[in-house]
Amino acid sequence: MEIYRISRGGSTISDNIRNSSEFLKNFDTFKTITRHEEKEELLHKLKTVNLEIILQDELETDLKRNNEVIAFIITNLSIRFFQNVNFIGNKNVLKHRHLGDYLIRKLEMSHFESDPTHSIIIGTKLISRNNSYFLTSSGWSIYYSKRKPCNWKEIVYNPLLASFTGAFGFGELYKDVMKDLIFGIDIRDEFIFSFTNSNIFPENKPEIPSKLDIDLTMVGCGGVGQSIAYLLQFFDLHGQIRFIDHDKIEKSNLQRYLLTCPKVINFPKVILLNNYFENQQFLYRRYNLQQWGVALTLSPELFYQDEIFVSIDNKRSRNEIQAALPKIIWNSWTGTAPGELRYGFGKHKLNTVYQCLACVYFPKEENPGNQMEFNAKILGLTEEELEEKIKKNAIFQQEDLDYTLNHYTLSKDHYQKIRQLIGNSFKDIFHGHCGLLQGKLGEGHDPTPAPHIPTLSASVLMIYFILDKLGINDNELEYTVGEYSGFHYPTKFSLFRVKKNEKCFCNEKIYKNVYCKKWSKKETK
């Protein structure tokens, strides 16, 4: 994005901004959650926000370290969304190995000279500003207030909570921008919360470990995957990790990928993350630049890794991963819909009464039994509606194709062939056993998340992953899944248990017997 300075407090939005891949992705989110279709509406909102981020200098070491993580996250996200951003404080905390001085250069482009409309204050000293947001974290607790800074006497370093706090702070600004367009957004003057379900603030126990033993496969290395990688890097990692993703980084990924800058565009996602951990001397790293199914065929040792992190936007693949790799699977997800930004995680095992990963995404409807039923499904029609169009010799038009394009993934060649059918009659296209498509369809992509949602999702997953490692698990935190809303606030009721889907394959006796025999001997003794 480019901003051309013309006067004190003023800027001109070039066509580069309106058509930049970052803005278009943010607009995709905007029109999904608000149902507003005009780019100028979002541009106007972004132009009227002058964001000031203040990182206070602190003497206490743990407080300073937490604040630096908060500042890095909130600045990283803000320059990917807002046009006018000033940063006051030590800019060296914004430098990062794989980003270099990218954030600092973006801040230079985003600098404004007029008064701030919003001020995020990271620290414990009171500063008088209009529309201010005070942020602090300690241990497993977050502090947010629009009235006063945190007065906690003891601060304990925890980069996971600091990361969540930074993304949360950005989210409060995001809600402020969207509040007049979405009914029911919850906006509070203060929010204090502990992720250990404790009523003690701050909750500083248990202490976060410095060393972490892992035997991990990461399936999906996009927005959530990069945020998970950023958080894992705070530990001295021992063991092995494998990255699986067949995609390369695109310009549009600049909108929400924490570790992405222009110099890594067209770089394979798995290689970027593999290189990101090159300073971890006791971590064995491997990657597969293929879809997960191919990776499994080429790398059978995947069967023997302890845990899987899944962060992909494909329901069918999640089902297949659970079926093929019956391990402990940590699932991280985001959801964008009218009036809603959602995110969460799940911890799934097979040998319990609670849902496995496949249970969550198991198809709610049966597969089509014949070609006509299949044709109707991909057009978003009932069989009766399709048969009526055929009888009336109706003409196949662009709007008849829109449902298919919005819900499924087509290759460019297939799309061009289907486009040539527009103007023909339904009777000519769908006679006998003919149809638009034959066989297995690719799923359509989910709407783009807001910039901060992948980081929030990754943060809550890592928070409970580490608590689980520390033994603060099912006995004390009653959950199989955690569900959160970007327009509301976490509560102790965000964690809950869900029973198995009765139709899921994990209920089949033969599957359970094979699982118990091959994968969970220790667990079933």
What is the total count of domains within the chain? Answer: 3
Residue 200 inside a domain? The answer is no
What is the distance between the alpha carbons of residues 249 and 327, in angstroms, rounded to a whole number?
29
What is the distance between the alpha carbons of residues 26 and 33, in angstroms, rounded to a whole number?
11
| Shared domain check, 50 and 107 | yes
| Shared domain check, 236 and 189 | no
- Nearest CA-CA partner of 262 in 271, 253, 270: 253
| Shared domain check, 414 and 358 | no
What is the distance between the alpha carbons of residues 28 and 449, in angstroms, rounded to a whole number?
9
Contacts 24+ apart (CB under 8 A), 384-392: 386/426, 386/430, 389/426, 390/426, 390/427, 390/430, 390/431, 392/426
Residue 317 inside a domain? The answer is yes
Model confidence at 419: pLDDT above 80: no
Residue 205 inside a domain? The answer is no
Residue 201 inside a domain? The answer is no
Rounded mean pLDDT, 461-476: 83
Angle between helices 398-407 and 412-419 (to 10 degrees): 160
Q: Burial code of 32-61, b = ≥16 C-beta within 10 A, e = fewer?
A: bbbeeeebeebbebbbebbbbbbbbebeee
The torsion angles phi and psi of 287, rounded to 5 degrees, stand at -150, 155
Model confidence at 369: pLDDT above 50: yes
Instruction: Pick the last residue of a domain from 138, 162, 194.
Output: 194
| Shared domain check, 458 and 344 | yes
Instruction: Pick the last residue of a domain from 418, 443, 468.
Output: 443
| Shared domain check, 135 and 266 | no
What is the distance between the alpha carbons of residues 298 and 290, in angstroms, rounded to a whole number?
10
- Domain limits at 106? 3-194
| Shared domain check, 282 and 229 | yes
* The pLDDT value given to residue 370: 64
The two tokens of residue 128 are: 């008088």
| Shared domain check, 78 and 222 | no
Instruction: Pick the last residue of a domain from 385, 419, 443.
Output: 443
Residue 291 inside a domain? The answer is yes
Residue 503 inside a domain? The answer is yes
| Shared domain check, 186 and 162 | yes
Query: Does an H or E element contain 361, and which?
Result: helix 357-361
What is the distance between the alpha carbons of residues 298 and 288, in angstroms, rounded to a whole number?
9
What is the distance between the alpha carbons of residues 157 and 271, in angstroms, rounded to a whole number?
30
Tokens 């139709």 map to which residue? 503
What is the distance between the alpha carbons of residues 342 and 446, in angstroms, rounded to a whole number?
12
| Shared domain check, 353 and 375 | no
Residue 204 inside a domain? The answer is no
| Shared domain check, 333 and 234 | yes
Q: Domain of 490: which CATH number?
A: 3.40.50.720
Q: Domain of 85: which CATH number?
A: 3.40.50
Tokens 């990062």 map to which residue? 96
| Shared domain check, 312 and 174 | no
- Report the SS3 class of residue 340: strand
What is the distance between the alpha carbons of residues 438 and 52, in angstroms, rounded to a whole number?
54
Q: Burial code of 303-335, b = ≥16 C-beta within 10 A, e = fewer?
A: eebebbbbbbbbbebbbbbbbebbbbbbbbbbb
Share of the chain above pLDDT 90, in %: 58
Helix and strand numbers (H, E) in the chain are 19, 18
* The pLDDT value given to residue 167: 99
| Shared domain check, 481 and 358 | yes
Q: Read off the pLDDT of residues 22-61 as tens digits, 9 standing for 90 and up.
A: 999 999 999 999 999 999 999 999 999 999 999 999 889 9
Q: Read off the pLDDT of residues 63-82 as tens digits, 9 standing for 90 and up.
A: 999 999 999 999 999 999 99
Share of the chain above pLDDT 70, in %: 85
**How much is the pTM?**
0.83
Q: Read off the pLDDT of residues 175-225 as tens digits, 9 standing for 90 and up.
A: 999 999 999 999 999 999 999 878 889 999 999 999 999 999 999 999 999
List of E strands, 220-366: 236-244, 283-288, 307-310, 328-337, 340-348
